[in-house]
Amino acid sequence: MQVRQEIFDTYWRFAALRQEVFFNKIKNLPQPWTNDPIIQTYKFCNAYRASDRVSQYLIKNIIYDNSRNKNEEEVLFRIFLFKIFNKIETWEYIENKLDNHITLKCFNFNLYSQILQEAKDTGYSIYTSAYMSCASKEFGYEKKHQNHLSLIDKIIFQDRIIADIVKSKSLQEVFNIIQGYPLLGKFMAYQLATDINYSEIINFDENSFTIAGPGAERGINKCFIHKSDKTNAEIIHWMVENQEQEFERLGLNFQTLWGRSLKAIDCQNLFCETDKYCRQAFPEIISNRKKIKSKFTANPQPINYFYPPKWGINNRIKQTTAQNSLQLKTQQKIFLNLDNSLNNQRVLVKKELNISGKQLFIEDKLISSLFMVENNELEEVIQVKKSFKRAKKLKKTNSKEAKKEKLLENTFKQLHLF
């Protein structure tokens, strides 16, 4: 293999920077979470696929939600229905209309089709913008969503593929079962196999099988001048196996996912994100995509990260969250004390300004009096001025002598201040 060095190195730098953003957000640090202007401006997926908002929703709310049925066929049905549209809002729209959880028992083609059509009629986009899903009329319907609902009906209810998936001996076998259905294709079949592997239905090594989606293929072509006899899948596996050496070679402090290294699905996704990044960073490298279509906007809704329990990292996340919460409380206390200190300083400054203002007023009054007197009163005014100076001097020395107060009183009277 011959790499295009600058782009190849960008792959690893992007992974490290994107993961840095991930942890900076978890630490509740203010924006910007990176100094990289491209990552600041445009929307990119996380270095780890399972950390993305939609994947998090799938894992927490679709697969492992304790209020939902844990039956394997129920879980498989929910995964397929959610991933066909791959949009949180679509799933929640359907459940809000049903006023109940989505279950096998409540699935009704006509009802679901009507609900989704109503959403479309209001101008709502029911499909994800992350990728294009097949839109053929495979099942004879004019509407795309109707054909997809028919696909789910065939996979889950007619063919009952849960039995075949449970009996599968490998992740590739699961992929092959899914790919055998229309409207899915290789990329979607791989995504679905990965999502099913998040659940308890199957438990295969994620690095045992991979394929490159269209975006990853573009990223590989940018990173490599020649692939020699390597397939795209073999290149992805090479990236998985050599990640530690590459981060070390570039002096990058890559923060793993609480000890979990990048897997094949993650390295595949990173090729896709590198392709996007290079459109802005290296526009001279030509591909059929020239611009990054989505700008970054911060989502105010926080994510309480949760991963498949079989990964064994959720307790570490709780520890990190607790530490961050403690640090945040400590910072808030420091800021509160600082704010109180600043308020006290403001009060003192205000008092000093008031004192200074009174003193300036007295002195201005004295000067005005000097200009207002007649010539024959000048000697008297001079005596008043001397008396005032003596009074000020006594005030500065903090004398407690009785004549200090008397002098001040006489001075103020002669200036007509009292």
At 119-154, the pLDDT tens digits run 999 999 999 887 767 778 899 999 999 999 999 999
DSSP 152-192: HIIIIIIS-THHHHHH-SSHHHHHHHHHTSTTTHHHHHHHH
Computed on alpha carbons and rounded to an integer, the radius of gyration of the chain in Å comes to: 36
**95-104, 370-379, 402-411, range with greatest mean pLDDT:** 95-104
The amino acid that residue 281 corresponds to is: A
Q: Checking DSSP bridges between strand 2-3 and strand 224-226, what pairing results, if any?
A: antiparallel
Q: Give the separation between CA 174 and CA 384, rounded to whole angstroms.
A: 104
pTM of the model: 0.78
Report pLDDT for 340: 73
Closest by alpha carbon to 237, among 205, 260, 259, 275?
Answer: 205
Report pLDDT for 374: 42
Q: Give the separation between CA 203 and CA 194, rounded to whole angstroms.
A: 10
The amino acid that residue 192 corresponds to is: L
The amino acid that residue 215 corresponds to is: G
At 295-350, the pLDDT tens digits run 999 888 999 999 999 999 999 999 988 877 666 666 666 767 776 766 777 666 56
CB atoms within 10 A of CB 366: 18
Report pLDDT for 406: 64
8 A C-beta contact, residue 178 and residue 189: yes
Q: Is the pLDDT of residue 371 over 50?
A: no
Report pLDDT for 323: 78
* Per-residue CA distances from 169 to 95, 185, 188, 311 (Å): 34, 21, 20, 20
Q: What is the DSSP letter of 122?
A: T
Element (H, E) at 3: strand 2-3
Helix/strand/coil for 27: coil
Q: How confident is the model at residue 198 (pLDDT cuts 50, 70, 90)?
A: very high
Element (H, E) at 2: strand 2-3
Q: Give the separation between CA 139 and CA 133, rounded to whole angstroms.
A: 15
Residue 131, token pair as written in the block = 């990728």
8 A C-beta contact, residue 267 and residue 223: no
